[in-house]
Structure formats: structure tokens, C-alpha cells
Structure 1
Amino acid sequence: METINIKKISIKGRVAMGIACLKYMLPATIYTEPLYKVLSFLNRFIYDPNIDIADWEELSAEIIPDVILNMSYSDEFTLISQAEYLSFKMLYQDIGENSCLVIDKIVDIASIHFYSAIPSYSPETLKLVEEILEICKAETGSLPNLDLYKKCRFSKNHGWGEVIKM
């Protein structure tokens, strides 16, 4: 794998790279319904051309590990049931701190510029991607093949990039 210039990869491409690292870190035995729900939620950001950003952001606020692991279920949760909350909590406890951190960072990459212009190459999301790559490499000893994300150009759609179909 040749070196990838992450700076030239779109926000959606950076999210996709994070998802690839997350999947690479997780053992096959952990693939359960709650994990598929989390992956489907994350993937929706990169492949759904009609995504409602407000809805996506609202759901992310209820299912990210930082929230699930640090809050008790209450009436503040309006989009997930108590059973879903408990299944996400069990998943996040099972996959470990580093995988949870990667999920949180993926959501941050996706949402950091929702309501503002993306600055030149988005240094904030660059830093988050680099942190995800470091975590993945520390966990697994290597990285997944990230060459396919070179086609996700930052120059498209004001930095967001095009819909990704992988």
C-alpha cells in the first residue's frame, strides 16, 4: 500500500476510512445486530445522497459510545428504546475502549462541519483520521487497505465529497 495523502480525501472519504479501520479492528465474533445497526448508521452518512443531516446528528447523539456508556437510560432518549440502549451498552462494553473511541471519532469527523464551511482541508478532521489510524495500527499491528479512498476527492462538493458506493 502506498502512502495516502489524507489531506486530499473528502470528509465522506475520511468517514469511510474510519469505518474501514473500525471493521478491521473488530473480531468476526462481535458482529451482532447492535453492531450492524451502528455500522449501518455510520455508513448512511457516506452512501445516502438524501441524508437528513439533522436526523443523523440527532440519532448520533443517542447511540455513540460516549453517551451510552456515560448516561443512564432516561426520557432524554427519544429515538432508541431502552432495549436498544441496553444492547448498544453491551456491545460497547464488549468491543472495548479503543473501538468505542474510533466510533466517537468517526461521528466527530462526519459532524464537525455540519453548520459551517469546511476550512482548507479541514485540519480538525485530518487530526481525527490520523488518531483513528494510530489506534487501528496499535490494536492490530497494521492498517486495512485504504487505497480505495484516494478516489474520494476533497475537491468535490465543497470538501464533503461525493456519495461513496463501496
Structure 2
Amino acid sequence: MKTSIFKKIILGIAIIYLPVQTMAWGTNGHRISGQIADSYLNAKARAAIKAILGTESLAITSNWADFIKSDPQYNYLYNWHFINMEREYSYPEMQEFLKKDTLTDAYTKINFLVGELKKKNLAKNNKLLALRMLIHIVEDIHQPMHTGHLSDKGGNDVKLKWFDKDT
């Protein structure tokens, strides 16, 4: 009996400890993704990004959208970080869902930001915002809690028990 409880505690600690140590959902996770993306850029894309970011790397800029969350001026960006689904979809159903998606969410904003970045006459500060957000959002939607179910707010409403206490 004691061995079973001990194993569960160790497993629980490992499940929590490993993602925290790898920073899978934090600053380092975004920076690593940004660095990997940078390694795949061709010369033309690299030049276009440098024209917007200057000396700021993709790795560093990938965290900008999280760093400015505490500034009320950027509260309107909140819903840009995720997309919620009503239920699980098959691939064809997902394509249909996304065709009809008009909410302010990661999917619609990725499309919007790509369109903005294609504009030749877009102001430099707007291009900078668009690129920073595009990089971050594309990384976000690949994280487990950023593409989820509307009913549980992307997993945020899932209740767990920790030592017999709700959390």
C-alpha cells in the first residue's frame, strides 16, 4: 500500500517537474522554437525579417507577446494566443470549422497577420507588431493548452486532486 502511494507521488512529481525543468511552456520553450525556426530560414526570408526586427533574433522576439501581457494597452491581444473548439473534429470537420471561424482567435489572427505583413506600405511599427505576434501565436498553437475545448477553457477549468484537495 505504501509503495503504491509512494510511486504515485513520485510519478506526480515527475509529471510536474519535467515540463517545468524543460520550460516547455515558458520563455525557453518559445526561444527554442524561435531558434529552430531561424535555422530553417532561406536568405530572402532572413533579409525580410531582419528588415523588420533589426538585430533582434527570432528567439528573443518570440517571447515579446507574453512579456507585454501586463501592459493594459495590449489587453486586446489576449484572445490571439489560443483557439477553442466546441468538440473534437475529424480533419474534414476541422477544415469546415476553420473556414467559418470569424472569432478573434489564433487562427483568424494568423491569417490577418500574414495579410498585414504582405502589405508593402504598412508602417514599420505595425510590421514589427505583426511579426512579433505571428511568431508567438504560431508557437502558442503548438502547445497543449492553446488549442483546446471551449467547454473547459482550453483545459484551464479541468479540476485535479492533489493530496485529496481540489486544485
Query: TM-score range, shorter-chain basis?
Result: 0.3 to 0.5
If each structure's strand is expressed as a fraction of its own residues, which one has the higher value?
A: 2
How does the TM-score come out when normalised to structure 2? 0.33
- Larger Rg over CA atoms: 2
